[in-house]
Structure formats: C-alpha cells, structure tokens
Chain A
Amino acid sequence: SYVLTQPPSVSVAPGKTARITCGGNNIGSKSVHWYQQKPGQAPVLVVYDDSDRPSGIPERFSGSNSGNTATLTISRVEAGDEADYYCQVWDSSSDYVVFGGGTKLTVL
C-alpha cells in the first residue's frame, strides 16, 4: 500500500517560515491535501489539491508538490499555528485514503 512519510516534529520561531514535508513514491502525480489538528479538536483542512486554500484559511498557508515530496509552507508563523499537521492522498490503485504519520509544529 502507498506510504506517506512526514517528519515527527518541526520547530520554528515566531515570524519565521515553517516547511513541513510529506514524502511518497512519485507523490507529484497525486493530489495532496493538508490538515491542521489542535489538541482536543477535529482536523481542519488547510490546503487541498496541492496548493489551494479553503475559504477562511490565511494566505500564510501554502502548498507545493513535485517529484517525491509535497510541502506545506507556513509563512510568518504565529503561536496559534502550533498544531499537528497531516498530509493525505487518495490511492486510486487501492481505493484507499492514506494519511501521513503527522508532524508536530512547535512555535518556539
């Protein structure tokens, strides 16, 4: 089955840029989606189809996808961005939804 690999943790100072990667075999050929989850809350979609943002999500959140790596970029990081972030694809070969293991973003 398809596997998505994320770093367990990323740390960044306020005002700086955070980059969270999601690795997968030829992931650039798939649509990648990103979710933010704060403690005790349900996940929230922050980027879909590699780089689109749902309404209400700040422009500071952006995404890219090429080759074997997709990246979620958070610019001008704020304390409120501290959360777990998950990437996700639909594996059409197996009709499975696949999530990455998640990355804990810490704002220093």
Chain B
Amino acid sequence: QVQLVESGGGVVQPGGSLRLSCAASGFTFSSYGMHWVRQAPGKGLEWVAFIRYDGSNKYYADSVKGRFTISRDNSKNTLYLQMNSLRAEDTAVYYCAKYASSYVDYWGQGTLVTVSS
C-alpha cells in the first residue's frame, strides 16, 4: 500500500533553515507529481509547493516563494523541502502528498516544524 513518511521537522530559530524529507513506497514514485501542504496549529490546510514527476517543473505558494525549494530524488523514492529564512508564521505540520490528476489521493502523517526563539 502507499506509504509516505515525513521526517526532518523540529524547532528552529527565526531566520534558520531546515530540510524536510518524505520517503515514499508502495507506488512508482518516479511516475507521480508530489506536493507539500502545511497546516498551522488550529488552522486550515495551505498548499506549499508542487513538483512534477520528473522534477521538470516546480510551483510555489506566494508565501514561500524564494525561501523554500522543493526537489526529489527518484532513485531514492524521496521528496524534499528545503526551507530557508524561516519565520514564525511557517510554524505548522508539513504533509507530503501524492498527486493524482488535480487532487491528492494519499497523504503522509506530517512532521511538525516550529519556528521560535
């Protein structure tokens, strides 16, 4: 079955950096686009970034453009999110999600990122 396991979350100071990883299994990772979606405490879902199956195109929410970079290593079945210049408002649970047409059909369990001094 499809499994998406995020890692790399933690506490970081404002202005700091963090790299999230998402290990995928149970499907042909190299054939599917992937998203990162986040959820601040007590808030709704916010899409963060998307990468096509082969990494050829990447798209970002305005709130993270220029600070976050999505990437993937299809040889390792792993998705990444490099987060730089972190702000308090980036505090959230970050979900890795598998793309299917224009929706998400599978989600990971999420990893918590806390930006605080």
Contacts and interface: CB of A to CB of B under 8 A. Distances in A.
Interface of A: 1, 31, 33, 35, 37, 42-45, 48-49, 54, 84, 86, 88-90, 95-102
Interface of B: 35, 37, 44-47, 50, 59, 61-62, 95, 100-105, 107-110
B39 to A, nearest CB: 8
Contact of B47 (A31, A98, A102): A98
Q: Which 6 A-B pairs have the closest CB atoms?
A: A90-B102, A97-B47, A33-B103, A42-B107, A102-B44, A99-B45
A24 to B, nearest CB: 14
A96 B59 contact: yes
A103 to B, nearest CB: 10
A84 B39 CA distance: 13
Contacts, number: 58
A84 B103 CA distance: 18
21 contacts: A33-B102, A33-B104, A35-B104, A37-B45, A43-B95, A44-B107, A48-B101, A48-B103, A48-B105, A49-B103, A88-B104, A89-B102, A90-B102, A96-B47, A97-B35, A97-B37, A97-B50, A98-B47, A99-B44, A99-B45, A101-B44
A83 to B, nearest CB: 13
Contact of B61 (A31, A88, A96): A96
A1 B104 CA distance: 20
A27 B108 CA distance: 28
Given A88-B103, A97-B50, A42 B61 contact: no
